[in-house]
Amino acid sequence: MTALSLPDTVDLNQRVILITGAGDGIGRAVALECGKAGATVILLGKTTRKLEQVYDELVELGAPEPAIYPLDLEGAGADDYLDLQAVIRKTFGKLDGLFNNAGWLGASMPMEQYDIELWYKVMQINLNGPFMLTQACIPLLKQADKGRIVFNADNKQTAYWGAYGVAKAAQSSMMKILADELDTAGIRVNAFDPQAVRTNFRTRAYPAENPENLPLPKDVAHYYAALLSAQIDFNGQTLTVNDLDDKN
């Protein structure tokens, strides 16, 4: 793939961005990056204490005042996402960007041995939840100028990745289908694969790995922020650092 150019400076002024899994890791880093770029960030996650910490960090940065929306994707149903849609519509009138970041590993084991209840739980968090959330957000994104949806990609289609690997592969298909369906509405849908990054999620997946050798979430956050901006126009792509001409 020919390298795609990022804007020299990411501009998210006047844009409202919803980030799932915003309490730590990549979600937190992207929330801070978006806030620094001028976005009003909606922090969604299951642990209110963590969301409040990110809220305080954004305020200290001088970013637009963020919003907190506690929600656990495991137990949330369609009505919960419609409630979120109503709150965003009433508070902001639109949504400019959605970052589907929240995820859960579950367990690494052969398919033959995979616990059925665990399978459903992993699928709910990594696939069903993002689908219901995205579906609820589409009408809001259509109200915005140049709406953007970004998925956090992770290619794990090898042995022992189980439900997580299947869910992330399905997310990739969902991204491409949405990109095709929403193209005429001016909404761009892409995914970014950060590959190896120093997060708690990565440590659980690779316990023998030395995390000191890995980049931090803040080192990749600006790629997501750029994809959430109105300054890019590519669509339906899963990108890595190597695919992007980083001018920053």
Q: Measured between alpha carbons, how far is 13 from 136 in angstroms, rounded to an integer?
A: 24
164 given a catalytic annotation:
yes
Nearest 5°: the CA angle 34, 40, 42 is: 90
State the Rg of the chain over Cα.
17
Question: Can you point out the beta strands (E) in the chain?
Answer: 4-5, 16-20, 40-45, 67-70, 97-100, 148-152, 188-192, 238-239, 244-245
Both tokens assigned to 49 = 């204490």
Tokens of 67: 């919003």
Residue 199 CA: distances (Å) to CA of 25, 36, 205, 206, 208: 5, 21, 10, 11, 14
- Which of 164, 206, 223, 224 is catalytic? The answer is 164
* Selection from 116, 30, 123 nearest residue 73 by Cα: 123
Question: Residues 19, 34: contact at Cβ < 8 Å?
Answer: yes
Catalytic residue numbers read 164
